[in-house]
Structure 1
Amino acid sequence: MEQESSTSMSSVASSRKKDRYTGNARRFRIFGVDFSPESVAVAMVYFVQGALGLSRLAVSFYLKDDLHLDPAETALISGFSSLPWLVKPLYGFISDSFPLFGYRRRSYLVLSGLLGALSWSLMATFVGSKYGAVVCILIGSLSVAFSDVVVDSMVVERARGESQAISGSLQSLCWGSSAFGSIVSSYFSGSLVDAYGVRFVFGITALLPMITSAVAVLVKEQHVPGPTRGQNVLLANPSFLESSRENIIQLWNAVREPNVFLPTVFIFFWQATPQSDSAVFYFTISRTCKTCHFGCIIGRSWIV
């Protein structure tokens, strides 16, 4: 009897201890969001998106000094880099309809990270022409756009059924992580270019997407059975075309709403306004910059 009583008391004590640790973990929050592995994954993906600005100044110097491109060509390449962002709904359809290795979120985060690491690794080693630079920059932009869609869908799924305060806290976590990454990269980008050169910065940038691939294992997701070996993907999911058609119709109906259409038109014309970034960069470097340390000043000025 005494042995059974002591065993019961020890089990109760261990249960209380476990509950206390669980309660402490739940009370620990980041931007008002409960600390969990999935929250860490979301925050790190957004941090990487902001930190990838580390290569922004290096790309500008590379196009100007190494490839000897004029401001018009540099602006054209910058415009090409935005093309993957124009078809973001397509990435959502792909990730939702075609699970990769049985997962709709994890696998695509890993793939996005690997693509980004590949593109910047090539920029750091083999790329020596403007065409190669365009291809690598496009691949890098695609990896960021795809991971952005995947992590946004994770945030939306988590915000469903939550209060408005929790949804706002999730957005604060996302934007705060991205802003922190941007501040860190802006502070160090110029000094790294001045001290080690653009190729070194590209190599450092190649490590950042690997963080996205690494934190994908923290995403809580159920395994989805895929098609059997030799079976066509569309035959395994015959409702894909129909569901895609319905999604497109719903998207079009949403865009037609005045509350959505008018802000969309405003953003379109705002983004269509000619940018002077390339011209200002060339003018600043060629006319006013007389020291090699000016890149550090430019990089840190982007913090503002």
Structure 2
Amino acid sequence: MIVAGIALACTAVCVAAWLLLFPEAGDAFVAACRRILRAIGGAARGAGRRVAGGVGDAGRRVQSGGTSAADGLLRHRWILLAAVVLVCAPSLLILWSRQRVVFEGFHGQDMAESRTMIAQLLRGERLVPPPAPPPAVFRTREVLRLKPEIVTADRKWARLDPDLQQRVLAIYQVMRERHGIEMVLVEGYRSPERQAELRRGGRATNAGAWASCHQYGLALDSAPLRDGKLQWNMSDPSTRDAYFLYGRLAQQAGLEWGGNWPSLRDYVHVELKDRCVQAKRERRARLAGDRG
């Protein structure tokens, strides 16, 4: 729509320039139009032959005017080309620049999705974590049967990296306001001791202590909440849609989504992967320094 408007404006400018640069062509065109109108009026009064003659004469004049205009265009083609460039270049430059918006804190990632609600929220005021759901939500019969490890999980937003907080809160808000899906923080920070325990029990993770981004406050797990119950069943279409929407929005916000992992698909999990890799590297360097 924008491009069509610019093209129409450019066409109008070019026609106006043509009429200003070649007044004789404009006069011929106007005269031809007048003769055509007279010929039509004559046809209405039944003067058939006069009409035909008038139309023929008008056609010849139009042809003559068109030839004169074409000659004029050829003589001044470089002037017209420069005018078109001057008119089009600013608008095209603006359109091109609007497509490349880079957010500070996104590690130089080109945010082609900058027009999405996620990006708008991240550009705005600091988002505040929602009130925690009742503790009973994390102790239902289904949770105890399928996900008993979350009963004792840490759900304190303050222990998470502030950048991760804001991105996930933006995802929650989009899912709630645009799709009617309520998301809940299931687990945030995870101590190395808890990580080792979960691995020994074969629950929720294959990573050992200090190998998970949870230990650095750079990962968290979330789940949809419907009718007061956390949703895990990926066979349920609405639950599956909710998790895949969560994953798409996480990628828009510059996060790694566990649902894309090839070995253990962790649909609840998102993390700041680059920051986590850096944190692990720094920890290994500190340990090497201490041993040295």
TM bucket normalised to smaller: under 0.3
Structure with the greater relative contact order (CA < 8 A, sep ≥ 6): 1 or 2? Answer: 1
TM-score scaled to structure 2, two decimals? 0.26
Q: Could you say which structure has the higher helix fraction?
A: 1
Larger radius of gyration: 2
Q: Could you say which structure has the higher strand fraction?
A: 2
